[in-house]
Amino acid sequence: MHASLVFIFLLSSSCALLNPNPNRAHAKETPALVLKPFTTDYCSEWPDGKMNNPKQWANCCFNHDIHYWIGGTEEQRKASDLELKECVKMTGESLGSFLMYTGVRIGGRPGNTRWAWGYGWTLDREYFELKNDDKMNAAKLLRESKHNKDADEKKIINTFIEKNLN
């Protein structure tokens, strides 16, 4: 009797392997890793400028958001954060540049926030090397972006594409 139960169990298990549940197989599929259209909130959780100049360093943050949207290597993130710091400093905001730099170094790691490194992807990504297809797709999305209509932002987008995606 015991041997019969073992045989039936093994037979039913092997049938399940040969004819898997299509719902279960679907649930195990790896979701697609897709770069979503570019979005920006400029200086996330930080003012875009002073009261007398409300967009004083907004372009610095816009450029930084492009870098964070697409993501890349840890070295690229460090360079982007330093570029933000220097750009804000050039607007005459030394203390603010230091505070912003400290904030992005602490809070901008890859993860599941709207300002994380690589936030443009449908799935969380750690640091990674961009593939040529990723670069071509990113350039296309940036060119199609609603932000590619403003003259200053268009210049930032074109410079980013030229320096980072070609």
Structure confidence by residue, pLDDT tens digits, 37-79:
999 999 998 999 999 999 999 999 999 999 999 999 999 999 9
Closest CA to 97 of 109, 106, 81, 86: 86
pLDDT of residue 125: 86
The ranges assigned to domains in the chain are 46-132
State the residue for tokens 């570029």: 83
Which carries the bigger pLDDT value, residue 101 or residue 9?
101
- d(CA 119, CA 162) in angstroms, rounded, equals 21
With 50 as the cut, is the pLDDT of residue 153 above it?
A: yes
Tell me the pTM. Answer: 0.81
Residue 23, judged by CB atoms within 10 A of its CB (0-12, 13-18, 19+), counts as exposed
pLDDT of residue 14: 40
DSSP notation for 113-156: STTSTTTTBSS---S-PPPHHHHHHHHHHHHHSGGGSSHHHHHH
> Sign of the C-alpha dihedral, residues 149, 153, 154, 157?
negative
- d(CA 12, CA 149) in angstroms, rounded, equals 62
- Side chain identity at residue 145, one-letter code: S
Q: Give the phi and the psi of residue 35 in degrees, each rounded to 5.
A: -85, 120
Q: Residue 28: which H helix or E strand, with range?
A: none
Structure confidence by residue, pLDDT tens digits, 77-131:
999 999 999 999 999 999 999 999 999 999 999 988 888 999 999 988 899 999 9
Q: Residues near 37 by Cβ (< 8 Å), separated by ≥ 6?
A: 141, 144, 145
Confidence band, pLDDT 50/70/90 cuts, at residue 29? low
